[in-house]
Structure 1
């Protein structure tokens, strides 16, 4: 039996027609509404012609000097762009006709105004204003007809969509829901061990008909297998007892990773479980970013087994172990390596997710600052410029105050832009080394100095917040060196000390720093110190004997107490 009408194709066609009808009705309605965007402006401009007509009569009688200017303004209003659009083909003939009559009448009126024919103008002004009223009324009727057309199109579209949805649901019920219920009933009967069930509809020309036919054949084969499986249950039970120990280890390892936040303690717990169940006497997990976890004591006399730790064909590290029964432990260790690979992968994904959350929060703050404080500062700068122009040049004290205020305002605006740049700094990946290299590459384009990076920090040992703080401290220190040191070489070194703490050095060969005191209105160093405190570490700025400046950041790994400043 072949599938002639797949369910997916039928549903796709129905949804396609529904979407097509929705887009068609919505598109026509939107086009109609878009053509009405300037209707109010056209009516308003057309209505203003009435007032200008009376004003021309007043100028003709009482103020002839303004007559020429008001005639030109009237001509501009009559030929405004929004009224010129009335010449398009889709504009009703009555609107175009009224507009054309108004043009023709104006030519005659304008000629009489040029001749200062007051008596003729007063006799014909009422008729001309009447033509304006008829033109405004025609515009109003045209706008109303478009609104009625939008309502009719919306109603027709909604009715068509409702009918299509009703027809689709009815067809789904007959060709999908009902056969699925029959299959569910048959499955429940087989689950209970009863291989007799109500007949299935195998004549449908879709996947469910093919599934019902296949299900019938499968149930017959299953009945035969059901009898033979009972004989092999005892044999399989013995095999299951042998695998129980391995399954228990794997279960506990999986439970160790079944936490909301995977970290180094969770992975270390997995190694401890394998070690405590005597599956291995020594375990070592090594990742490709200089990170290593060990459990037990290595015996130089025993061979060391190893397996790659990977996830989705991505090698994340290597699992090494020693065991009295190395060959018997290989299947278990392969499963443990898979579990550890999943744990490392989830840990990286969680870090990236945390980074995205942090970046979203910081982007939100940056947008709020830009939309509020930055806009206000820009407004104040404009107002200050206007004030400076309004103050006479001979008022020197006022200009001095305005200049001081301008410098302070410009300094505040510059600091705000730097703050917005810092807030918009992003960490696109969980690999700290790659993120640092990406940030330094961006800064390299802003300086002639050579920027170099030597990062040997284990990314797995740092959470998302720590990576963000480390990245921003390094970036701020490099920016300071670029701006103020005049250095030709700026080196960034990140290492892990023998005691497990992490150290970062940003060194330049520039002019050095005479003092670490920050000028008024600058907060870069203070922010760097605050970030170091968030890392539970210390930040020092020293002047090496060879010249230049070196920024030293030291912070402990997770669970290590804060180090005292040296």
Structure 2
């Protein structure tokens, strides 16, 4: 902290003391002058009377006046009067003292002449003596006037000095006190309105106002920094709130896009479009992976080869579902927003799979219910008819060829219907609990593998999100029927299942074996497996191709569009 080297209070006090001292000096000098002049009038009067007395003595001499001696004594008293004796004091000029001493000496000479009755000598020297008296009186008068002039001069100088000091005190007060205070008041008004660009204060002064100006400037600087810091924090908070509000809007739109009864590809594409548009991204990509090699990739925007991709894994309940990748523009993406979007997408994928599993379970339960109804009604009826047909054979004579022919045809039709019913029951009783296509195929192949020693290989590069629940059920049924046919009829040593996307974005499932190969696409009477497979393919909106494989065996290829 700055120290006070030249106190304003002390300076003003010194100037006021100087005014007081000057007043005292001027008054003292004036009093001294007046005191020194108190006998001047008396001295001049007595000196002037010496001339008259000198002439009176001359008159007494000429008239032989009896009062001569009395007048001589009176003259001696006058010339030695106390008012004239003060002329010998130190403050009288030497020439006046010399003149007075000369008068005294001449008077002693003249007094002797008068005493010895030498009147002629006295009269002859009287004119010179009176001239000396005149000169003495004039000297006293001039000295008295000089003292009066000195007193007047001292008074004028004192008054002017006092006025000068007063004006200097006023100027000093204005310069050292009033002006700095006015600048501080103006600066305080600036600060009061939130402005800190006030006129610089004089901090170079080493007085109280300089210390105050230094403290005020420091306080203003601290307030400016604090105000700027607060303004910056407010701006940062405003930016964060704006970002949070915008992020909430984006998240709300994303949730709205996924808050539908059926979460499908269009929903995820809409979410990617919302995020890319709001964050001004170059491109954004969603890649969903299954337990196998299946990948489902959605991309919004055009990839920039000169920009790097940023990645964020998508997981739910510690299970990796895929990843989200994006390319930023010149502005960075808010990390919290992108993390929340990834959580929303993860939940959307999880919900999509759960929804698909639920629909699949509903389909399976519906088919199981149909199978139970068929078993409890139609199968029982067919069994009853077969029993009745056996009893009928026993009742009708064997030599009745016409009746036996009808019974034989009826038995064949009944057996075909019963065999077809069993195939339908086996188809309807297919139970798949997994929504993931790779796991569903594994669950499908496991019981089939138990029916044969032929190895069944499976390669699935098709994403589960590319199929809805109904498509997956039909596709699994076609795969099951194709594998069963290969097990029963191909006499193969290897059965392979390949699931992969095509170049034009369709789904392709291929079942091949290295067996004897299919001889004809015409099914035997009472068999409907190939027709059912073709019907399922048409329901998928795809095509089913069954034919010989290039490397031998049979190839069954199903191509159908994504959901």
Q: What is the TM-score with the length of structure 2 in the denominator?
A: 0.55
Residues 471-512 of structure 1 deviation map (CA, whole Å, 9 limit, x = unaligned): 001111111111112112111111101111111111111212
Q: Deviations over 1:268-288 (max 9, x none)?
A: 110100111134322111112
Q: Relative to 1, partners in 2 of residues 1:328 and 1:545: Cα closer, same or farther, differing over 3 Å?
A: closer
1:153-164 matched pairs, under 5 angstroms: none
Q: Which residue of 2 aligns with 1:347?
A: 352
After superposition, what is the alpha-carbon deviation per residue over 1:317-358, rounded to whole angstroms, capped at 9, x for unaligned?
111112246765211110110010111011111111111221
Structure 1 partner of 2:265: 264
Match of 1:452 among 453, 457, 472: 457
1:246 CA displacement = 1.4
In structure 2, the residue matched to 1:187 is: none
Q: Which residue of 2 aligns with 1:504?
A: 509
Secondary structure of the 2:508 match is strand
Aligned 1:320-335 pairs, distance under 5 A:
320-324=325-329, 328-335=333-340
**2:214 aligned residue:** none
Change in Cα spacing, 1:443 to 1:393, as seen in structure 2 (3 Å) is: same
Paired position in structure 1 for 2:248: 247
Aligned equivalents of 2:349 and 2:409: distance in 1? 57
SS state at 1:522 partner? coil
Q: Is the 8 A contact 1:279 1:329 kept in 2?
A: no
Quick check: 1:386 aligned with 2:412? no
Alignment partners' CA distance in 2, 1:295 and 1:243: 24
TM-fit CA distance, 1:235: 9.7
8 Å CA contact retained: 2:279, 2:333: no
What CA distance in whole angstroms lies between the structure 2 residues aligned with 1:379 and 1:233? 87
CA distance in 2 between counterparts of 1:304 and 1:393 reads 84
Q: Distance in 2 between matches of 1:330 and 1:518?
A: 61
Q: Residue by residue, what CA displacement relative to the aligned partner does 1:17-43 show, whole Å, maximum 9, x if unpaired? A: xxxxxxxxxxxxxxxxxxxxxxxxxxx
The equivalent of 1:438 in structure 2 is: 443
Q: Match for residue 288 of structure 1?
A: 289
Q: How does 1:77-476 map to 2 (within 5 A)?
A: 239-289=240-290, 290-324=295-329, 328-395=333-400, 397-476=402-481
Match of residue 532 from structure 2: 527
* Corresponding residue number in structure 1 for 2:490: 485
In 1, distance between residues paired with 2:544 and 2:441?
19
**Distance in structure 2 (CA, Å) of the matches to 1:431 and 1:368:** 29
Distance 2:472 2:434 in 1: 10
Q: How many residues align?
A: 327
Which deviations, in whole Å up to 9, do the C-alpha atoms of 1:527-547 show, x marking residues without a partner? 111111111111111213432
For residues 465 and 316 of structure 2, what CA distance do their matches in structure 1 show?
16
Q: Secondary structure at the match of 1:291?
A: strand
Cα distance in 2 for partners of 1:326, 1:517 equals 65
The answer on whether the counterparts of 2:432 and 2:443 sit within 8 Å (CA) in structure 1 is no
SS of 2:457 mapped into structure 1:
strand
Deviation at 1:242, TM superposition (A): 3.7
- Is contact 2:379-2:421 (8 Å) kept? yes
Aligned partners of 2:528, 2:546: CA distance in 1, in Å? 15
SS in 2 for 1:372: helix
Give me the whole-angstrom Cα distance separating, in 1, the residues matched to 2:440 and 2:239.
Answer: 53
- Structure of higher RCO (CA pairs closer than 8 Å, 6+ residues apart): 2
Bigger Rg, structure 1 or 2: 2
Backbone CA RMSD of aligned residues: 2.2
Kindly provide the CA deviation profile for residues 285-330 of structure 1, in whole angstroms up to 9, marking residues without a partner as x: 1112311111122333333222111223222111111224676521
State the distance in 1 between where 2:470 and 2:386 align. 36
CA displacement, residues 149-203 of structure 1 (integer Å, 9 cap, x when unaligned): xxxxxxxxxxxxxxxxxxxxxxxxxxxxxxxxxxxxxxxxxxxxxxxxxxxxxxx
Shift of 1:233: 11
Q: Is the Cα contact below 8 Å between 1:309 and 1:319 reproduced in 2?
A: yes
Unpaired runs of at least 5, structure 2: 1-232
Q: Is the 8 A contact 1:310 1:316 kept in 2?
A: yes
Taking the aligned partners of 1:414 and 1:303, their CA distance within structure 2 comes to 61
- Structure 1 stretch 426-435 or stretch 514-523: which is displaced more? 514-523
Structure 1 residue runs of 4 or more that deviate by more than 6 Å after TM superposition: 232-238
Gaps of at least 5 residues in structure 1 are 1-231, 559-566
- Contact 1:283–1:321 (8 Å) recurs in 2: yes
Structure 2 match to 1:202: none
- Maintained 8 Å contact 2:534/2:544: yes
Q: 1:243 offset after TM fit, Å?
A: 1.6
Kept in 1, the 8 Å contact 2:276–2:282? The answer is yes
